[in-house]
Each structure stands twice: as C-alpha cells, then as structure tokens.
Structure 1
Amino acid sequence: MPAESIYPPVEIPNVGIFEFLFNRPQASVQPDQEIFVDAQTGRSYTYSQLKQTAIEFGQGLKGLWDWQKGDVLGLFTPNSIDYPPIVWGTHFAGGIVSPANPAYTVDELVHQLKDSGAKALLTQLAVLDVAKQAAKKAGIPEDRIALLGDDRDPEHRFKHFTSIKDNNLEAARSPRPVKINGDKDLAFLVYSSGTTGLPKGVMLSHKNIVANVLQITAGEPELESSDTILSFLPFFHIYGLTCILHQAVWRGFKCVVMSKFTIEDWCRHVQEHRITFSYVVPPVVLLLSKHPCVSDFDLSSLRMMNSGAAPLTQEIVHALHERTGLKVKQGYGLSETSPTTHMQRWKDWKTHIGSVGAMMPNMTAKFMSEEEKELPVGQTGELWIKGPNIFQGYLNNPEGTKNALTSDGFFKTGDVGYLDKHGNFFITDRVKELIKYKGFQVPPAQLEGLLASHEKIDDVAVLGVYRDDLASEVPLAYVVPTKGATPGPQLEKEIVDWLASKVANYKRLRGGVKFTNEIPKSASGKILRRLLKAKYQEEAKKGPKAKL
C-alpha cells in the first residue's frame, strides 16, 4: 500500500492565488506590515502596498496590452522586490507567469518565449540586450517589453512597469481579479530540463501553488510572522518562487531580498537584519562551514536553515554545526511538485541527517521496482508521488506528460530512494540522467548536441561528476577528438571556453574534459554513461585533477 503522510490533511480552497493571498478574511498579516525589503537599497513593500501595486499592474495590463485570461507574461530578471507584485498583478488579470533564468543566452530564452507563447516580457536594464534580441526572434514587439527594478532606460524606449501600473484606463478598472478555477487554470509555466535536451514547460495550476504553500505551512509550524527570512534563491526557480515569495506573504514574514549572492553579503545581511531563517542550497552550507569571512559576522540570530534543490551530506551538516553552531535541515521537491513534497522536522535536523524528512500533508507515495511493482518499506526503488501539488503536465508535450504521470495520478519522480519504518524518506540516486548543478538542471543531451558541432570533436558524452569543493555535481565531457587534433590542456581549455560562450553559466563544463578513443554505446546507439562513470571513478583513484 502507498505510504501516507504523517501529518493530518489540510483543507485546500479551490481559488486563485491572488484571492488566496490578498482576499482572505481574518488575514494574519497587518496592512502596514513590511513584507519585502531590498537588501541593498532598503526599498520595501508593505502587505497593503503589494496588494495595491499588483491590482494596479493587473489593471494596466488589461488596458495597455488588451490582456486576456490565459495570456502569458515572460519574466526575465534577477531578483527584485518588484517581482512579487508583477507576478500577482498578472494573476489578477487572469494571466500566466513564465519566469526565465536571467543567465540564459538569447537562444535559450527564445525557446521558452516561443514554447510558452509569451505575449509580453518584463526584464531589467542589466539584461535588456538579451531580452530585446530574444523577444525579436520570438515575435514579441518592443512595445511589449517593460522594465522593473530601480534602473530606467536612459533612452526612454522601454517603459517601466510603473508606467503600466499607472495606466489606469477607465476600461481597465476592475475592483476584482479575473475569476479563476484554481484546479484547472494555470498560474505558472516554469521550465524544467529533460534528458532529451530542450527544457519542458511545467504547467502549474493556481491550486498546485496554494496547496504547496499550505503544505509547507503545516510542515514548518515553528516559523512565525515575527520571523525575518533572507532570500537569495532566484525567484525564477520554483524553490524560491513558492517557498519564499508565496509563503512570505501568506505567513507574514519579513523577507530581505538579495539580487545576487556572495557569502560576505549573505553573512552581513544576517547580522544587520537579525535574520532568523533562510532557505539555502548545499554549496552555501559548504561555504558557511569553510569560508574565512564567516567568522567575522554574528550569525547567532539564525534559528534554523532549510537546504534543498540538491542532496546535503552528513559531513557538511556536521562541519557547519561544529564551526558555527548553526542548524540546517533538509527538504525535497521538484518543479513538477510545486515544489516541496518532503521536509525534515526541526527536531530531526541532527538525528536524521541524510533524510529528506517526512512527506507533506495530503500526499501519498510509493517506491517502485524497475518492473513497476510496489516495494515494501526499506527497499530501494523509484519514488512515485501523488497529491494536490502535482503539476498538470508538460506544455505542448503529451508524450512527456504520459511518461511522467500515471493514469491514477502518480508522478514518476525519476529519483531513487527508500522509506524507513519511522516515516523518513531517503533519496539515494536518480533514474534520470540530468546533472544537477547547485539545484539547476543540466541536460547532458543539450551539451552533447552543442559539443558535437565543434570542429575538433568527433564524438562526445557528458555526465555529472561530484566536486567536493563546490558541494555539487558538475558537467564533465568525454571527448573523442577529430583526426589531427591534439588532446591535451590546450584543447581542453579551447573546448571549455567555447561551450561557455554558448550556454548559461550553470551549464559550463566545470568537470572539465577527458579525452578518449571511443564513447561506449548500446546496439541502439544510446550512450552507456554507467561505463563512463566507472571509467571516471577508476581514473580519479590514480590522482586528483586540476580544478577549473
């Protein structure tokens, strides 16, 4: 029988996100309560300012761009406190938000804009050039590109989102948000890479997000509206989008927002703002356990941290606590699950290190064998999960949806693990071939396709290898050089630099290049990565490789 959550069920209303966050009776958040604060400038939004700005932006969308229910707004921007009201203003107008990684190249952004059918694009001045080029290729006119953040276009060609917000045409005025069916209407199209290459549009409904916010609330009852959280996780990523953006408003946290991360800035903000909680990722935990600057700051206000997006090892947890006294627990989730499905309880942070914790309320799960037979407690298999936070499918990809979702509603996560007798889940490996670099998904096939076009590469295979110093998996390429090309450090650097110019930063070959005479393949032509991994492990025993 599938495992049930240890938590009692929570009631999940079938409403839109705007109504859920802002039109609730007996809201626990006070109107003048500060919710989002810019870590650098101190600019902020109170709860009532958020609501009003979102309403005005939604009204402006309908008046300026003839916004219709179901239209898609692309967001291509680093973190900003303007991000939340733009998201919820789009929802007010009945639209769907598709957030994109601001590190994307032009062609990577073009794919998302075209696939999502984005009608307009919001961006920041720092990445405007990429946004302009991508919008042109995707067929989005320049007058549907607008800016957010503190910087304005010096040439006055691109309006600021406040111009849209202030575009209160009489025809656009509406005191109420567009009516939403929470169970069916989409709120977000987030993009998750697949092993076949191009990212897939994950369709998340309003109810998916509402459900996950309530599930997280039940899983972390220790957090209170008096807590101050530090946000450096990108809002375009589902981890930051749900766990920080939506949860902050729902529970009334003060959220200090960093536009970019450095360990020195993170520590300084914890000290200056007396941060009590932070969502983090394993590489940050590693930095806190090793970086010399950490000793220069007072981090004692932190009651707990929660690490997600990638596995966190026992050694790093111990090293952090021994050096600083800080506590960190772990959670688990995916873009397809909105994202959180499991979370360690605060009391278990030290006694169950390695576990991703207990399953969220209103969910069931089972571990399946390769033959898709359910396995008993303690046996390792692929995790399948079911609940109100499971996505609606992949956009324009019925085959991918069919392969991911069963007829009775279970999502095949592609992750391997087991359940212990105490209800703790452990994730030990992945079925999928995706490389996970600091929480970002890197599809090997996409990198292989690019590398194969290099004039000095005959054949190539990309796999993920672990780097202790980064506390993360990184891409490494096995390359068969063309005849006449000389394998060695010079060619390796040429290949690494060449690929770096064509992909987002997180997709770079941080594992480097290894030269080989042949890429092992099956009779059907599939790359046998397990043989390459074994080869890499054997080579690694012979001596360390210089880090890139």
Structure 2
Amino acid sequence: MPSESRYPPLNIPDTDIWGLLFEREDREYPDDKVIYMDPYTSRSYSYAQVKSTAVDFGKGLKALWDWQKGDVLVLYTPNCIDTPAVTWGCHWAGGILSPANPGYTADELVFQLKDSGARAVVTQLPFIQTAKEAASRVGIPENRIIIIGDQRDPTGVVKHFTSIRNISGTARYRRTKLKPEDDLAFLVYSSGTTGHPKGVMLTHRNIVANILQIKAGEGGNLSWNDGLTGEGDKLLAFLPFFHIYGLTCLIHQSLYSGLQLIVMPKFNLEDFCRFIQDHKITFSYVVPPVVLLLSKHPVVSKYDLSSIRMMNSGAAPLTKELVAALHDRLKVPIKQGYGLSETSPTTHTQPWKDWNKTIGAVGTLLPSQTAKYMSPEGKEVPAGERGELWIKGPNVFKGYLNNTEMTAQALTHDGYFKTGDVGYQDKDGNFYITDRVKELIKYKGFQVPPAELEGILAAHPHVNDVAVIGVYNKEQATEVPRAYVVPAGGLGKGEKEAQEIVDWMDQKVAGHKKLRGGVRFVEEIPKSVSGKILRRVLKLKAQEEAEGMKAKL
C-alpha cells in the first residue's frame, strides 16, 4: 500500500497565489512588517509595499502591452528584492512567470524565450546585452525588456520597472480572475537527459498547496514574532530565486508566514557569515557544498553564528559526515528536505526534533500526499527495499510544456509522478534517497544534462566522439561534469589539449555546466547495441582512476 503522510490532510483553499497571500483573513502580522531586505543597500519592502508595488506593476503591464491571461514574462536576473513584486504583479495581471538562470548564454536564453512563448523579459543592467541579443533573436522588441534593481539604463532606452508601474490612467484595470487548478503560475525549466531543458508547468494550486505543506513541515517553529524582540525569525536567502527551491521556500514562504528575508544576489561565504552575525539570522536554507564550507573554511571562525536555530539542506543528498562536521564546529543543527521542480518543490522534510535521530533521511512525507517505491517492473516494493520513488499530491505539476510524450512518461494515469530517484523508506515512515534513475548531473543543486554538453562538445573540431558524466568532487561536496573524449587524429593527446577543450567549452555554457571534472581522452565511448551511451561503464572507469590516484598517494 502507498505511504500516506503522517500529518493531517490540508484544507487547500480554492484560490490563486494572489488570493492566498494578499486576500487572506488569517494573516497574523501587520502591514508594515518588513519582509524583504537587501543587506548591501538596506533597501527593503514591507508587506504593504510588496502588495502595492505588485498591483501597480500588474496595472502597468495591462496598460502598456494589453497583458492577457496566460502571457509569459521571463525573469532573467540574480536574486533581487524587486523580484517578489514583479512576480506577483505578473500574476495579478493573469500572467505566467518563467524564471531563467542569469548565467545563461544568449543561446540558452533564446531556447527558453522561444519555448515558453515569452512576451517580455525582466533583467538587471549587468545582463542587459545578453537579454537584448536573445530577445532580438526571438522577435521580442527592445521596449519589452524591463530592468529591476538599483541600476538604471544610462541611455534611457530600456525602462526601469518603476516607470512601468507609474503609468497614468491605470485605475480602471482590475485583477485577472484565474482558475487555480488549471491556470499556470510558473514555467520553471528543468534540465532533461535529452538535452534541452523541459518547461515544468506549475499551476496556482500547485504552489498554494506547497506553501501550506512547507508551513506544516516546519511545524510552527518559524514565526513572525518571537515574543522577545518582536522581530521573529529571519531567513538568509542566497539560493537562486530562478530555482524552484528558492522560489517557493524563500519568496513565498517568507511572505505567507511573515518572516524577514535577507536577500543576497549570490553566495559569498564571508558575506553569508557576516549577515548571520549582523542581522541575527535564525534560519537558512542551504545546499551541501555550503555546509562543507561552513564546517571547514577558516573564515567562518571570524564570525558569531550562534543566532542560527536550524538550517535546512536540499537540492542534493547530505551525508552524515557533513551533518556531524557542521554541528561539531558550530553547534548548528541541520535537517534535510527533498523535492523536485515537478513537485513545486518540497515533498519531504525532517521534523526539527528529528534532525539528529534520522541523519541521512530526507524526512517524512508532507501532508496531503501519498508515495510509494516501485520496482523496475512497476510493482510496489515493501519498506526497507529499494525502488523508484513515485509521488502523488496537489503539488504535483500539470505536465511538461510542448512535450506530451515526456509528460505521459512522467505521470501515471492515476496521478503519480515518477521522480526518477531511487531510495527506500524505513518502518517509521522516514524516506531515504540513495541514487538516481536519471542521468542528470547535479552540480551544487543545479541540474546539468549530459546530452546537452555532449551536443556542444561534438561540434569541437578535435572531438570525434564524447560522453559526459558526473564525478563526485569531495573538496566541493558535489558532482562535477567530466567529458570523456575520443580525439580527432587518435590518442596521444595530453593535458594541454584537454585544457584547450575545457577553456573552449567555458565560453559556450553557463557557469554550472562547465567541465569542472576535466577532460579524459579515450579510444572509444562505450555504447549499447542501440547506440545508447553506457554511462555506468564510464562511472566505473572514473572510480578506478580515482582509486588509482589514491594508491599512488
């Protein structure tokens, strides 16, 4: 029998995200509560300011571009405290937000703009040239590029979002009515082993459900008012808002629960520690490579991190050794969670009280979901046995955009999502993830599709054949992409030629897709009779190489 959540079922309101966040009657905290703060500039948004800015931006979209229900706005920017207002302004106007990695090259951005059918792009000034090039290539006019953040276009050609929301004559516009179960809120792009990323269609109901599921999972441990200082919990946000982990767990959860979010545009270890100390941060969502830095890096000792009550790690497996190392050094407890883009994302989290009792588990199933582990033959396996995790619940996505075949492969007729992750559950209902069915490489929580990298590398004049796998890098506590290359002209190639391919590739892809595992030259790529790359053979080869290196040391 499929596992049921041990939590009581949720009463999920029949409302869109706007209704949940801005029209609820049970909000406990005041309008002037500061929710989003930029620690570098001290610029901030209170709850009331986010709401009014979002309404004005939504009205501006309708007035300027006759924004219609289902129109897509692509957000190509690092974290910014303007992001929430722009996101919900787009929703107010009936639009769908599609976040894009600011590390994307023009080619990568072009794919997302085209696939999503985007009508406009939001970015920041340092990324304007790439945004302009990509927009131009898909036919989005320059006057449909908007800038957020503290900088403005010195030429005045590209408008700042404040001018979009300050258009006169918008009083007549009203919020677009949406059907929470049918209408999309987000199109997030999740990389697939076939190369191009897939557009994951998340409805308003998906996100509303997951906000409430996360709230239940944190078990009342995070509050807008601690009863002492009156400030309540403060979260430090460096996880990218263009990733579903940051989008739901940070942006949405903070506003729903009245938690203050200190927003970093990207991770910097010294700043991370300084902000915890200066702002008395109490909670942070992290990823394993950050846990590794906090447990080992000397700079951490310069700062007082004692205000942290708990950390939550996700996006990649967290080892027992890392949990112990962090706690031994800083006395900071850390629990683990699990989720995917297709599940909005959070499906499991460890209860606070269990963080040191079930180390290695991703936690228990959040409310209103069922899950089961399945054998390759499609039969459910009992507790303790390994299988592929299938999940069903109101947070499970609608399907992949423009890809009915992949949708049919991922979703069963009775609504289960096949996660592609392998694991097991124990007799107490704690879930464990041990491996992946999918071939995706996970670099610091980012998904890297091997086939996409292989497609690019195959165009290199000195590459005859190529396969890419993920190899574990202990120093960084993450997988890194490595290419096995059959070189043109035969073997005899050395470190110089390998580095040349790495450098060439660096210019072609976003930062998280770089060949940090290097290039290895081989005589042939192992393949099945049907021509499928046998990555497991290469993984064994990589393992043997690593063991051989150890033996030499």
Q: If the length of structure 1 is used for normalisation, what is the TM-score?
A: 0.98
Task: Report the CA distance between 1:324 and its aligned residue.
Answer: 1.1
> Could you tell me which residue of structure 1 aligns to residue 99 of structure 2?
99
**What does residue 478 of structure 2 align with?**
472
Given that residues 187 and 204 in structure 1 are in contact (C-alpha distance below 8 angstroms), is that contact kept between their aligned partners in structure 2? yes
1:382-430 Cα distance to aligned partner (Å, 9 max, x none): 0000000000000000001000000000000000000100110000000
Aligned-partner Cα distance in 2 for 1:536–1:144: 47
SS at match of 1:478: strand
AA at the equivalent of 1:506: H
Shift of 1:27: 1.6
Conserved? CA contact 2:311–2:334, under 8 Å: yes
Counterpart in 1 of 2:251?
245
Residue pair 2:491, 2:522 contacting (<8 A) in 1 also: no
Q: Which residue of 2 aligns with 1:309?
A: 315
How far the C-alpha of 1:484 sits from its partner, in A, is 5.7
Q: Contact 2:480–2:517 at 8 Å: present in 1 too?
A: yes
**CA offsets 1:113-163 (integer angstroms, 9 cap, x no match):** 000000001100010010000000111000100100000000101000000
| Equivalent in the alignment of 1:381 | 387
Counterpart of 2:41, as a letter, is: T
Residue in structure 2 matched with residue 191 of structure 1 by the alignment: 189
In structure 1, the partner of 2:275 is: 269
Pair 1:211-2:217 in alignment: no
Task: Quote the Cα distance in structure 2 between the aligned partners of 1:87 and 1:29.
Answer: 22
Q: Percent identity?
A: 64
Contact 1:370–1:381 at 8 Å: present in 2 too? yes
Matches within 5 A, 1:434-449: 434-449=440-455
Judge conservation of contact 1:60–1:169 (CA < 8 Å) in 2.
no
Deviates more, 1:21-30 or 1:392-401: 21-30
Structure 1 SS opposite 2:256: helix
What code does the residue aligned with 1:169 have? G
1:70 and 2:70 aligned: yes
* Equivalent residues of 2:236, 2:263 under 8 A apart: yes
Distance 2:492 2:123 in 1: 43
**CA–CA separation in structure 2 for the residues paired with 1:378 and 1:343:** 19
Report the more deviating stretch, 319-328 or 205-214.
Answer: 319-328
| Rounded Cα–Cα distance in structure 1 between residues aligned with 2:440 and 2:551 | 23
CA distance in 1, matches of 2:45, 2:126: 22
Instruction: Tell me, in whole angstroms, the C-alpha distance in 1 between the residues paired with 2:358 and 2:490.
Output: 54
Secondary structure at 1:475's aligned position in 2?
A: strand
Q: Are 1:451 and 2:452 an aligned pair?
A: no
| Residue 26 (structure 1) shift | 3.2
- In 1, Cα distance between equivalents of 2:83 and 2:20: 18
Is 2:486 aligned against 1:487?
no
Match of residue 377 from structure 2 = 371
Cα distance per residue 1:299-325 (max 9 Å; x no partner): 000000000000111111111111111
CA displacement at 1:349 relative to structure 2: 0.9
CA deviations over 1:85-132 (Å, ceiling 9, x no partner): 000000000000000000000000000000000000110001001000
TM-score by length of 2: 0.97
* Corresponding residue for residue 414 of structure 2: 408
- Runs (5+) with no aligned partner, structure 2: 225-231
Q: What letter matches 2:204 in structure 1? A: H
1:15-42 deviation per Cα after TM superposition (whole angstroms, max 9, x unaligned): 1111110011132221000000001100
Structure 1 residue aligned with 2:41: 41
Cross-structure match for 2:218 = 220
| Alignment correspondent of 1:163 | 163
**Which secondary structure state, in structure 1, belongs to the residue aligned with residue 119 of structure 2?**
strand
Equivalent residue number for residue 18 of structure 1: 18
Of residues 482-491 and 146-155 in structure 1, the stretch that sits farther from structure 2 once superposed is 482-491
Deviations 1:276-307 (A, max 9, x none): 00000001000000110100000000000000
Superposition deviation, residue 545 in structure 1 = 12
| Residue-pair matches, total | 544
Cα offset, 1:485, TM superposition:
6.7
Deviations 1:488-514 (A, max 9, x none): 110110011111100000001111111
Alignment check: 8 A CA contact 1:59 1:168 kept: no
- Residue aligned with 1:543, SS: helix
The answer on whether the counterparts of 2:241 and 2:251 sit within 8 Å (CA) in structure 1 is yes
Tell me what 2:228 maps to.
none
Cα distance in 2 for partners of 1:536, 1:285 equals 25
Partner in structure 2 of residue 85 of structure 1: 85
Instruction: Check whether the contact 1:267–1:299 (CA below 8 A) recurs between aligned residues.
Output: yes
Partner of 2:144: 144
Distance in 2 separating the partners of 1:396 and 1:356: 32
Kindly provide the CA deviation profile for residues 192-232 of structure 1, in whole angstroms up to 9, marking residues without a partner as x.
00000000000000010000000000010211111011000
Give the gaps of 5 or more residues in structure 1. none
Contact 1:435 1:473 in 2 (8 A): yes
Alpha-carbon distance between aligned partners in 1 of 2:48 and 2:137, rounded to the nearest angstrom: 38
Pair 1:289–1:403, CA change in 2 (3 A): same
Specify the SS of the correspondent of 2:533: coil
